[in-house]
Amino acid sequence: VIYGYDLMNEPNQRSLRKIDYLTLQYRTAQAIREIDQETPILIAANNWNGPRAFPYLHPLPLKNLIYNVHMYHPLRYTHQGVGGSWNRQTWPGVSRGKYWDKQVMQQYLAPVRKFQEKYGARIVMSEFGVVRWAPNGADYLRDLIGLAEEYRWDWCYHAFREWTGWSAELSDNRDDEKTVDHDNPRLKVLQN
């Protein structure tokens, strides 16, 4: 079953182009609509599908579109210990000198909510997550999913069985990439 056509993942256009990221998606969506009028088409925002790009996004004149947002903020919390240096942070807590909690998360997502309300747009938060060893990761997920549910957004956790760092099935122990823990709080939040 095809849920939808996700045309572009995390565009990050920073300069003028002959065909910009939104025009490319629009032309592709038009071509799809010539052969498939029903299946949803996902439209990506610029800035890595980020919430801050939504004020610059405009709805496309086609039916059954879903506007796509990704949420990994604050990045130093959600990605702590990935790649380079590791500055242990907690949720809620301070990241880059700014205190983050559910209310700040709500403010950060406000441009997406405004777009939804202004245009009656359907929204999917198609990527979000937190590394499994981040302190209070379940609380972060609960806060974020709570907002998505309140706003009636579709959502998809990133990522199921893709990389052990994102795995909701593994324990919070960063050094243990094998032990399945069906009672870990992050998995319970997703199941609930």
pLDDT at 2: 86
Q: Are 174 and 164 in contact (CB under 8 A)?
A: no
Q: Compute the distance between CA of residue 173 and CA of residue 168 in angstroms, rounded to an integer.
A: 12
pTM of the model: 0.94
Output the pLDDT for position 159.
87
- What averages of pLDDT result for each successive group of 10 residues across the chain (192 residues)? 92 93 97 97 97 96 97 96 85 96 98 98 97 96 98 94 92 92 94 94
Q: What is the pLDDT of residue 1?
A: 83
Residue 99 structure tokens: 């205190």
Tokens linked to 67: 């506007």
Strand, helix or coil at 97? coil
